[in-house]
Amino acid sequence: MSSRFFGQYLLEKGRITSQQLFTALDNQKSVTSPIGILALERGWLTAEQIKQILEAQKKTNYRFGEQAVLSGLLTQPQVEELLNDQETSHRVLLGEVLVAKGYLTLSALEKEFKEYDREEEKLSSELAAAFQNVRHKDLVKTFTDLMMIMFTRFAKQELKIEQCETGKDKVRLFRWVFSQKVAGETLEFNCLLSVPPKLLLQMASTMLDETVSAPDELALDASKEFVNIANGNACARLSENGLNFTMTPPEVYETTAKPYPVNAKDVVCVHLASPDAKLEVAFEF
Amino acid sequence: MSDTKSVKVLVVDDSRTMTAMITAHLRDSGFEVVATASSGREALEKFQAYRPQVVLLDIVMPEENGVETLERILHVDTSACVVMVSSMGTEAEVQDCLKKGAKSFLQKPLRKDHMLGVLSNVCERAGVAL
């Protein structure tokens, strides 16, 4: 069981090459308001209908949305909703670039969106079951959720859960590990965040509000605060259910210089992924 | 907000990132950050040396946590105006700090406008010259 980003899914299925994915990821920041692909993702338009609109546009010079309404394929409120959509997903942007570059046809993209949705739905129910089976599942979910919120809301980094596993041997430590001790009345554990260098710099840049290019002392201090805020906010949320915890400041380990010692018997690992990097949240009970 | 030039603030946080960010926000808004400290012990020393009118005090710090530091500051000056800052903000923690004498509570991540609003209210209530 493993949930994936759309780009990774296309790569694994052999629909695009790694070079095409790399180029597309590199280009997706320049895409703005791809409302045709957004309508395709939502199932409001088919690939065939988008082609019709694009053909008609050549003659009328109307904008895509105007032409779609004129052709009776979208309503005005639908077009407005698409134009106002601030949460354009990673896969819409990627899809737009893949089609624009000629790596995928519109029809193929339509088919892949549907197939991807089917697979993701199946995986998400399997993931829910995986969380259901871990110890302290509410706590694991809350800490994972809040860490993901820090990345998505503040670091503007889309993340998704790939897997949730139990066992010391499942820990996949990346270069930088942040370990924070959390203690409650009946339970004490370490909450770990493990990230590759790229994400560490992104965390530091978010906190310092400037581009950080080296993991110096200030960058590590800023990243520790990033972790501290995420975990502290998780404690705050758990306190709403009567669970009170205290924390000590996080410690940081560079695993290439000094391996992080995973000592606990009970370890729950949540493997996460951004579109181009892996990371992990783990709990040592 | 009124003229805040006369309001002297001590900023306490073990994270240099946070002390720098808070200091920059406060200075931009006319507060005078008289000192910063990165531990409870240092906070107490700076409090005694500078006698700030407001202390922004982090809770999760190594060695001595902010709640213990709050008690020590209030032991020196029962009228000290201390605003706690924490990423946690659990109900129990907020209640504990207010009960012990903190004037207000800010939860991280800090939003500049919210922080300035809270400081302004606290200063007015405490009669700190604004």
Report chain B's C-alpha Rg in angstroms.
Answer: 13
pLDDT tens track for B36-62: 999 999 999 999 999 999 999 999 998
Residues A23 and A164 grouped into a single domain: no
Residues A13 and A102 grouped into a single domain: yes
Q: Where are the alpha helices (DSSP H) in chain A?
A: 6-12, 18-27, 35-42, 47-60, 64-70, 76-84, 90-100, 106-133, 137-149, 197-208, 217-239
- Domain contains A17: yes
Cβ pair A228:B15 closer than 8 A: yes
Residues A190 and A120 grouped into a single domain: no
- Domain contains B2: no
Q: Which residues on adjacent β-strands are paired with residue A245?
A: A184
Cβ pair B15:A236 closer than 8 A: no
pLDDT score at B130: 60
- For A1, residues 6+ apart whose C-beta sits below 8 A from its C-beta are A123, A126, A127, A130, A163
Residues A59 and A143 grouped into a single domain: no
pLDDT in single tens digits along all 130 residues of chain B: 445 557 999 999 999 999 999 999 999 999 999 999 999 999 999 999 999 999 999 999 988 899 999 999 999 999 999 999 999 877 778 888 999 999 999 989 898 888 999 999 898 888 876 6
Q: List CB contacts (< 8 A) between A154 and chain B.
A: 109
State how many domains chain B has: 1
Residues A250 and A165 grouped into a single domain: yes
Residues A152 and A183 grouped into a single domain: yes
Q: Last residue of some domain: A125, A152, A185?
A: A125
Rounded to an integer, the average pLDDT of A149-178 is: 88
B86 CA: distance to closest CA in chain A (Å)? 8
Q: List CB contacts (< 8 A) between B65 and chain A.
A: 246
How many Å apart are CA A16 and CA A21, to the nearest integer? Answer: 7
Q: Last residue of some domain: A107, A125, A143?
A: A125
pLDDT score at B1: 46
Q: What is the pTM of this model?
A: 0.75
- Domain contains B82: yes
Q: List CB contacts (< 8 A) between B86 and chain A.
A: 232
pLDDT tens track for A251-260: 999 999 988 8
Q: List CB contacts (< 8 A) between B109 and chain A.
A: 154, 229
pLDDT tens track for A195-235: 999 999 999 999 998 999 999 999 999 999 999 999 999 99
pLDDT score at B2: 46
- Out of A221, A246, A247, the one facing B15 most closely (by C-beta) is A221
Pairing of strands A277-284, A251-254: unpaired
- Domain contains A165: yes
Domain at B20, CATH number: 3.40.50.2300
Domain at A186, CATH number: 3.40.1550.10
pLDDT score at B46: 97
B5-42 b/e (C-beta count within 10 Å ≥ 16 → b): eebbbbbbbbbebbbbbbbebbeebebebbbbbbbbeb
pLDDT score at A1: 44
pLDDT score at A51: 92
pLDDT tens track for A7-30: 888 888 889 988 888 888 888 777
Is A221:B15 a contact under the CB 8 Å cutoff?
yes
Cβ pair A228:B60 closer than 8 A: yes
Rounded to an integer, the average pLDDT of A109-132 is: 84
pLDDT score at B16: 92
State how many domains chain A has: 2
Among B11, B17, B105, the strongest candidate for a mutation testing the A interface, having the largest count of A CBs within 10 A, is B17
Q: Which residue of chain B is at minimal alpha-carbon distance from A235? A: B88
The parent domain of residue B32 ranges over 8-126
Rounded to an integer, the average pLDDT of A170-193 is: 93
Q: Give, in order, the Cα–Cα distances in Å from A38 to each of A84, A112, A132, B20.
A: 11, 14, 33, 41
Q: Please name the residue that has the structure tokens 């240099």.
A: B16
Residue A67 has pLDDT above 70, yes or no: yes
Residue A100 has pLDDT above 70, yes or no: yes
The parent domain of residue A59 ranges over 6-125
pLDDT greater at residue A122 or residue A207: A207
Pairing of strands A176-184, A188-195: antiparallel
Q: Which residue of chain A is at minimal alpha-carbon distance from B14? A: A249
In a 3-state reduction of DSSP, which class is residue B93?
A: helix
State the complex-level ipTM. Answer: 0.81
- Domain contains A178: yes
Q: List CB contacts (< 8 A) between B40 and chain A.
A: none
How many Å apart are CA A185 and CA B34, to the nearest integer? Answer: 39
pLDDT score at B94: 83
Cβ pair B17:A236 closer than 8 A: no
A231 close contact with B: CB closer than 8 A: yes
Q: Last residue of some domain: A71, A90, A125?
A: A125
Q: Please name the residue that has the structure tokens 């805040």.
A: B4
Please calculate the CA angle A151-A156-A157 and round it to the nearest 5 degrees: 60
pLDDT score at A88: 67
pLDDT score at B47: 97
Rounded to an integer, the average pLDDT of A179-200 is: 95
Residues A258 and A216 grouped into a single domain: yes
pLDDT score at A14: 87
Cβ pair A233:B91 closer than 8 A: no
Q: List CB contacts (< 8 A) between A221 and chain B.
A: 15-17
- Domain contains A1: no
pLDDT score at A163: 87
